[in-house]
Amino acid sequence: MTNSYLVKHSKQFPKGIIKLSEGCWTAVGYAASNVHMIEGRNSVSIIDTSESIGAARNILAEFKNLSSKPISRIIYSHGHRDHISGARVFYDGTQEIITSHKFTSDLVNVGGESTAPSLALKKRTEAQFGMGLDSKDRINIGCGPANRPMEGLGQGFIQPTTFIEKDQDINLDGIGARLIHAPGETEDHIVVWLPEKKLLFCGDNWYHSFPNLYAIRGTAYRDYGKWADSLEFLANLNADILAPGHTLPQFGSEKIREMLSSTRKMILFLMEKTTEGLNAGIPLDDIVTTLELPEDLSSKPWLKEFYGKLSWSARAYATGTLGWYDGNPTNLGTIGTVERAELMVDLAGGIEEIWNATKATPNLQWKLELCDILISLGQPAEKTKAETMRTLADDEINATARNAYLWEAKRLDQGK
């Protein structure tokens, strides 16, 4: 394994409970996502619940060492499975579970994104997170640790009881808080702002990595413009403490403002450059292979592509705003993969020539594409493809790409 950058990124989610402010804590590194606790006069409030019953139990045990007060409410920052699937552990059957009226979830049978082809989504989720990979291959998942409890994964969700339609002040048993709609990674995001402590729980609208503007597990277009607007709003709160849904909390108003503002600036840059390219009629493949962040953005440690990725995000922006058609009438028609492969063989002068080119090329992306041609014609190129993906994974700083390469390589090795 040569990927030292991604190994270092694991320092963003060391397992432990971190004190944010008097009576406020966050549990980092127990699960893919963080769980937060706010202690009031006679009870505590919980923000998000992790992805599994096993992780939630471990977190609750730690929280009980800090406060023995009962849990009076649970708040879901948004509906993604990694934030709502440990609720049953914190829930006693009586508490309020508060979230946005736009609440939707990617958990199957809960609504929202579950209308996507669920088997494809499940398989791609497993690949993105490297589920089932050998421990030697697992570094992290970009937004959290690879090694974490899988017991009760996705099984502890409890339906929300209270849906807020407008931003509103709420009394967390003596602690003043404001619940604010802030669409970003999802349309249904709410953030929790404690003005007296200047403490902001921002959900997944910011974490210490390039944002997951597009998730390769499969996701509908995430509205980049709204996400950028929300980041501007959050930056202007001038929080002293920022507790994100993934990665370590941040302290210091200037630094937090810079983190939120530069992430917004990056999103706007990406939108602007992709739009410029599309307006100039530049093919999307050429837009995504030439797009680069300016140095003042690429140098930010929190914009490194450990979780999201610039090229994927530009592609998702183009297809999210204009759909799949790229304006070139050539692409109004389609040639299927087998027919295309047969045409390539004809062009190359025989299948042996495709094999020779596959073995000879130093371009690993091209090697994968040639392997796909061979495999589509029933040629035994699976081993070559698996080896190529493992080589790519070694130098890939994006955890989800790395996991997907290794997951698919393992599947091919097993003859699936």
- Interface with Zn ion (CB under 5 A): 33, 80, 82, 204, 245
Residues 6 or more apart whose CB falls under 8 angstroms from that of 190 comprise: 75, 77, 78, 99, 100, 164, 179, 180, 181, 182, 203
**Nearest CB to Zn ion, comparing residues 84 and 287:** 84
**Nearest CB to Zn ion, comparing residues 23 and 245:** 245
Q: Which two tokens stand for residue 124?
A: 């791609």
**Nearest CB to Zn ion, comparing residues 35 and 404:** 35
Q: Which two tokens stand for residue 363?
A: 């371009």
As measured in angstroms, the least distance from the Cβ of 55 to Zn ion is 13
What whole-number distance in Å separates Cα of residue 35 and Cα of residue 56?
Answer: 8
As measured in angstroms, the least distance from the Cβ of 84 to Zn ion is 10
**Nearest CB to Zn ion, comparing residues 77 and 274:** 77
As measured in angstroms, the least distance from the Cβ of 49 to Zn ion is 12
What whole-number distance in Å separates Cα of residue 211 and Cα of residue 34?
Answer: 16
As measured in angstroms, the least distance from the Cβ of 133 to Zn ion is 20
As measured in angstroms, the least distance from the Cβ of 190 to Zn ion is 14
**Nearest CB to Zn ion, comparing residues 84 and 404:** 84
Q: Which two tokens stand for residue 276?
A: 């410029």
What whole-number distance in Å separates Cα of residue 139 and Cα of residue 359?
Answer: 29
What whole-number distance in Å separates Cα of residue 45 and Cα of residue 172?
Answer: 7
As measured in angstroms, the least distance from the Cβ of 82 to Zn ion is 5
Q: Which two tokens stand for residue 359?
A: 């073995």
As measured in angstroms, the least distance from the Cβ of 106 to Zn ion is 10
Which class for 10: exposed (0-12), middle (13-18), buried (19 or more C-beta within 10 A)?
middle
Q: Are 306 and 399 in contact (CB under 8 A)?
A: yes
**Nearest CB to Zn ion, comparing residues 155 and 376:** 155
What whole-number distance in Å separates Cα of residue 247 and Cα of residue 307?
Answer: 11
As measured in angstroms, the least distance from the Cβ of 246 to Zn ion is 6
**Nearest CB to Zn ion, comparing residues 9 and 385:** 9
**Nearest CB to Zn ion, comparing residues 29 and 245:** 245
C-beta atoms surrounding 207 within 10 Å: 31
Strand bridging mode 35-39 / 24-28: antiparallel
As measured in angstroms, the least distance from the Cβ of 83 to Zn ion is 6
Q: Are 176 and 193 in contact (CB under 8 A)?
A: no
Block residue for tokens 């990595």: 209
Which candidate, 98, 60, 3, 26, places its Cα nearest to that of 246?
26
**Nearest CB to Zn ion, comparing residues 105 and 384:** 105
List b or e across 219-231, with b for residues whose CB sees 16 or more CB atoms inside 10 angstroms: beebbbeebbbbb
